[in-house]
Amino acid sequence: MTLPGWRDWAFATKTYGAAMLALYLALWIDLPRPYWALGTVYITSQVLAGATRSKALYRVLGTILGASVAVILVPNLVNAPELLTLAIALWVAVCLYVSLLDRTPRSYLMMLGGYTAALIGFPAVAEPGTMFDTAVARAEEITLGILCAGLVSSVVLPQSVAPVIAGRLEGWLHDARGWAVDVLGRAGAAKDAWAEEVQTQDTQARRLRLASDAIAFDALATPLRYDRTGAERSTQAMAMLRQHMLMVLPIVSAVSDRIEALERSRALPERVRTLLGDMAAWLAAGTTDPAEAARLRERAEAADPALPERPAWTDLVLASLLARLRDLIDLRQDTRLLQRHVADGTPVIEDLAFRYTAEARTIRHRDHGLALLSAVGVFLSIVLTCTIWIATGWPDGAGAPMMAAVGCCFFAAQDDPAPSIVGFANSAVVGAIGAGIYLFGVLPFATSFEMLALALAPGLLLCGVFMTQPRTAPLALGAAANGSALIALQGSYTGDFAAFTNSSIAVIAGMWVAAIVTRLVRSVGAAWTVRRLRAVNRRSLARAAGRQGAQNGLELAALMLDRVGLIAPRLAALPPDEAERVADLLAEVRVGINIVELRRDRRQLSGAARDAAERLLSALARHYRGDADRAADLLPLIDAALDAAEEEARRPAHRAALMGLVGIRRGLGPEAAPYRPAHAAHSGPDLAA
C-alpha cells in the first residue's frame, strides 16, 4: 500500500463534505432515517468524477424500482411471512441474475432494485400500514445521498478519467508495439533451443497480459462517457479502439506463426525478410506518417505471390503472412488515429483502414450459468436468515436478511465471493466498534450539527482515505456504510445499547450466513472459471463451424477475445501442466475467424471444393463439441479441402478459402507434418505446418 497523496486526501475530504451535506439536508427536511443519506454517499462515491456520475442515474432508478416492489409485496403478503420471504428472495435473485449479464453500469439498476426491496421491505413488516411512507422516505434518503455525492464530485476538484486513459493507453500500445517489433525483428535470427523456449514463454505471457489489460479498459470507458470535460466526445473512438486493440492480438500472433513456419523451412524470401525488418523499424520509431504506412502496404502487396493453379504450401503460407502484415499495418494506423481522438476528445469522422463492424463494439461474454448460481445463492441466503428471524422472534432480526442480500449482491461478479463477503462482515465488526464508541462515548456531547460534523470527521476522513487504496477500500467502505447505519443518526440522540447490540449482531450474522451459503453453492474458484470460459469458447467454435451463431468473423473474434481477456489474469490459478495446455488461447481465436470466413466463402467455391469444405466444417463442429478425436485427426480433411481448393487457386473465392484453410491448419497443428498436395509426392522443402 502506498502512502496517501494529496489527491487521496482531497477525495476523502470531498466525500466527507458530501456526506455532511446529505446528512444536513436530510435532517433539515426531517426525513425519518437521515443516516441512510450519509451511508449512501460512501457507497456511491468513486475517485473519478465520471465513475460517480455513471452510476448515479442507475442507482436512483434502481432505488425507485426496489421501493416500488416493496410497496407492492409487503402490505399484500405481510400476514403470510413465508410467502413474503419467498417473494422478496425471488425478486432479489432475479434482479441479481439479470444484472450479472450486463457488465456495464446499467447492471446497478437491477442489482439495486433487488436488494433495495430487501432493505426497505424487511424492516417494514412490523408496520405494514406505513409501507408507502417508509418506501418514499427510503427512496428520498438514498436519492439525496446519490445526488450529493454526484454534485460534490463534479464541482469540487473533479478528477477526469481522460489522463488515466491516456497513460494506460500509451503503456498498452507501447507493450503491444514491443511485442510486434520482437515478432517482426527476429525473422532469421539464430537462437539456441533454450533461448527459443524462453522467448516463446515470454511471448505467451505478453499475449495474455495484453488481452487482460485491453479488457480492463472497459472499467475506464464507462466513466469517460460521463466525464463532462469534453473528453466524453471520444467515447465512440474509445469503443472502436478497444476492439482494434483486441484484434491486434490474433493478427500479431498469426504473423509470428507464419514467420516461424517459413523460417523452419528456409522459405522466407529475402524481399519479405527486408520488409519485416523495415516494418519492425517503422513500429519501433513510433511514426504516424500515413505515407510511410502506404509504402509498406504497397510493398506487402507487391510481394504477395500470384498463386498458380496448384500452389506450393510455402506459397500459401507466404500469402497468408503478407495478408496478415497488411492487416497489421491497417490496425496500427487505425489505433494511432483513434488514440489521437481519445486524447483530443473528438469524435471519429474518418474512414478506418481495418475492416470493422459496429456491432463488435458492444459484444461481451455473458455467463448465464454463473449468474444462475449467484441467484440461487442469494435466494437461499435470504430464505435461511428469514427462517432464523421468524423462528426465534428476533426483534432486530430484519438486519440479517437485509445484509445477506447486500453481501451476496455486492460481490457476485467474483469467482469466489465468500472471502470478500467475510471481509465485508469483518468491516461491519470494525464499523460496529467505531459506532459503539461514537454512540455511547462521543455523540452524547454533540449538541449541535456543527459539533456532530466535527465529531464524525476523524472516522469518516480516515475511511475516505483508505477507500482510495485498492487493498483497504472494501474494509473502509464497509466500516463507513455499516458504521453510519448502526449509529442511526437522527434528529435527536437515541442511545439504546440493547437495540444497538441486536442490530450489530443481525448485520454481522446476515453476512456470515451469506458467506457460508455462497461457499456451499456458488464459490467456484479461478481455475473453474478458466475451464468454463475455454469450454464456452470451444462451443462457440462448434456453433460457428456448424453454421450457427455469429455471422461475421470479427464478431466471433470479439466474443472469444473478450473471454480470453477474462481468462488471462486467472491462469495463475491453474496447475502448471493445465496452464500450459490452455496458454495459447489466441490460436483458437485465429481458427474461429478462419472458420467463419471459410463458411462464408464456401458458397462461391466449385462443387468439389465446396463439398470438401462442408465435410471439414462438420468435422470441426464435432471436434469442438468434444465428439471427435484429436486435432491431428482433422488434418487429412483439411488437406483434402486444400487439394480441392487448389484446383482453381486464381479465383478470388478459392484464394480466400485457401487462406482460411491455411489459418485453420496452422492453428490446429502448428507442429504437424507438412501439407503435401495430392498431385505431388513432395512439394519443396519440408515445412512444419
Is 688 part of any domain? Answer: no
Instruction: Compute the radius of gyration of the chain from its Cα atoms.
Output: 30
Grid coordinates representing 501?
447490540
Q: What's residue 4's pLDDT?
A: 74
Grid coordinates representing 287?
511514426
The pTM of this model reads 0.80
Is 392 part of any domain? Answer: yes
Which CATH number is 305's domain given? 1.20.120
Q: What's residue 688's pLDDT?
A: 34
| 382 and 418 share one domain | yes
Whole-number Å distance between alpha carbons of 120 and 112: 12
CA 365 from chain center: how many Å? 9
Q: Which residue has the higher pLDDT, 308 or 252?
A: 252
Q: Read off the pLDDT band of 538 (50, 70, 90).
A: confident
Is 358 part of any domain? Answer: no
| 34 and 95 share one domain | yes
| 613 and 518 share one domain | no
Sort residue 30 into left (φ over 0), alpha (ψ -120 to 50) or beta. left
| 324 and 410 share one domain | no
Longest CA–CA separation in the chain, Å: 98
CA 398 from chain center: how many Å? 34
Q: What is the pLDDT of residues 600-657, one digit of tens each?
A: 777 788 888 888 888 888 888 888 887 655 667 788 888 888 888 877 767 777 788 8
Helix locations, 488-571, DSSP H: 497-521, 525-545, 553-567
Q: What are the Cα distances from residue 28, in Å, to 139, 144, 313?
A: 16, 12, 81
| 518 and 381 share one domain | yes
Give all strands (DSSP E) within 324-464, no chain letters: none
Other Cβ atoms less than 10 A from the Cβ of 458: the count is 12
Sort residue 393 into left (φ over 0), alpha (ψ -120 to 50) or beta. left
Is 595 part of any domain? Answer: yes
CA 327 from chain center: how many Å? 26
Say if CB 132 and CB 71 are below 8 A apart: yes
Q: What are the Cα distances from residue 380, in Å, to 84, 386, 503, 518?
A: 14, 10, 21, 9
| 182 and 243 share one domain | yes
Is 674 part of any domain? Answer: no
DSSP tally for the chain: helices H, then strands E: 26, 0
* Residue range(s) defining the domain that contains residue 441: 6-159+365-523
Torsion of the alpha carbons at 528, 531, 532 and 533, rounded to the nearest 10: 120
Whole-number Å distance between alpha carbons of 657 and 641: 9
Is 681 part of any domain? Answer: no
Q: What's residue 96's pLDDT?
A: 94
Is 351 part of any domain? Answer: no
| Closest residue by Cα to residue 204 from 258, 253, 260 | 253
Q: What's residue 495's pLDDT?
A: 61
520488409: which residue's cell?
275
Q: Please state the domain count of the chain.
A: 3
Whole-number Å distance between alpha carbons of 430 and 591: 52
| 42 and 145 share one domain | yes
| 251 and 390 share one domain | no
Is 607 part of any domain? Answer: yes
| 155 and 187 share one domain | no
Whole-number Å distance between alpha carbons of 482 and 675: 66
| 539 and 622 share one domain | yes
Q: Which residue has the higher pLDDT, 360 or 83?
A: 83
Q: What is the pLDDT of residues 32-44, one digit of tens each?
A: 888 888 888 988 8
Q: What are the Cα distances from residue 424, in Å, to 297, 455, 472, 510?
A: 56, 25, 11, 11
Cα dihedral 620, 622, 626, 628 sign: negative
| 590 and 661 share one domain | yes
Task: Using DSSP, state whether 358 is helix, strand or coil.
Answer: helix
Q: What is the pLDDT of residues 114-168, one digit of tens each?
A: 999 998 888 877 777 777 888 888 888 888 998 898 888 878 877 777 777 888 8
Residue 376 pLDDT > 90, yes or no? yes
Residue 194 pLDDT > 50, yes or no? no
Average pLDDT, the chain: 81
Q: 483, 508, 523: which is the final residue of a domain?
A: 523
Q: 504, 523, 542: which is the final residue of a domain?
A: 523
| 245 and 147 share one domain | no
Q: 466, 500, 523: which is the final residue of a domain?
A: 523
